[in-house]
Structure 1
Amino acid sequence: MLNEKLLEVLRHPADGEVAIVTQGIDGPHVVNTWNSYIHVSQDDKLLIPVGGMNKTEENIDRDNRVKLTIGSREVQGKNYKGTGFLIIGTAQFLKNGPDFDLISEKFPWSRATLLITINSVENTL
């Protein structure tokens, strides 16, 4: 499901912003992280270290649907330099287990791991 262009964005040394959108009681809620923080598991799930994201966790507990935008100005897109993706999926917060251990080893400040199961990926730029 993860195409080579998206993987190129995630691996690119010039860090890019990632927006994570959840549905809150009072409307959409957005938090950000960096593409270099995202680890792609062997089964194409995204593992993201969590420092804060308390509101995001509350929202996921009620409604596990999530949207992410990921992009890079440095990676060639469809028509010009720069590309971006919209990822739609479901999320859960992990506080133990092998995926949590993997992320907390790389990012000792993380209190949890956000695991994203991807339903769809759309190249938007």
Structure 2
Amino acid sequence: MIDEKLMEVLTTPPDAALAIVTQGLNEPHVVNSWNSYVHVTGEGKLLIPAGGMIETEKNIERNNNVKLTITNREVEGKTYKGTGFLIKGTAGFIKEGSDFDTIRAKFPWARAALTITIESTEQTL
């Protein structure tokens, strides 16, 4: 299940960027999205619409380990206002099925949905 504080980070305005890191052939590759784009499934997976993310998809085909950083300046952190999380997990791209349909209903421009199975979360701020 998703940590309550992480859900607060994902759902509290204002929207903030999140970073998705995959391993490229020679170096890490980073792509950004928005907190408000993240859909949490009943199973606790993260779904993120992919309009591009072509290199990210290629990287995940070779190595499906990912890291994400997600932050929000308005959510109380460990010692002050503002917090963030480091999420580690495994990822894949889906282009059909109910999870994809959920993403396409909100984001008609999505060519796929990036699905992330969380292995660990760490509050960093």
TM-score, normalisation: structure 2: 0.99
Once the two structures are superposed, residues 75-97 of structure 1 have per-residue CA deviations (whole angstroms, 9 ceiling, x without a partner) of 10000000000000000000000
Superposition pairs of residues 1-125 of structure 1, within 5 angstroms: 1-125=1-125
Gaps of 5+ in 2: none
C-alpha displacement of 1:2: 1.6
The answer (yes or no) to whether the contact 2:67–2:89 under 8 Å persists in 1 is yes
The answer (yes or no) to whether the contact 2:64–2:91 under 8 Å persists in 1 is yes
Once the two structures are superposed, residues 21-68 of structure 1 have per-residue CA deviations (whole angstroms, 9 ceiling, x without a partner) of 000001100000000000000010000000000000000000000000
- Distance of 1:3 and 1:113 partners within structure 2: 22
TM-score, normalisation: structure 1: 0.99
C-alpha displacement of 1:119: 0.2
The answer (yes or no) to whether the contact 2:13–2:74 under 8 Å persists in 1 is no
SS in structure 2 at match of 1:101: helix
SS in structure 2 at match of 1:103: helix
Which amino acid in the other structure matches residue 85 of structure 1? Answer: F
Q: Alpha carbon RMSD of aligned pairs, Å?
A: 0.6
Which amino acid in the other structure matches residue 51 of structure 2? Answer: G
C-alpha displacement of 1:13: 2.0
* Identical aligned residues as a percent: 66
* Greater than 4 Å deviation, 4+ residue runs: none
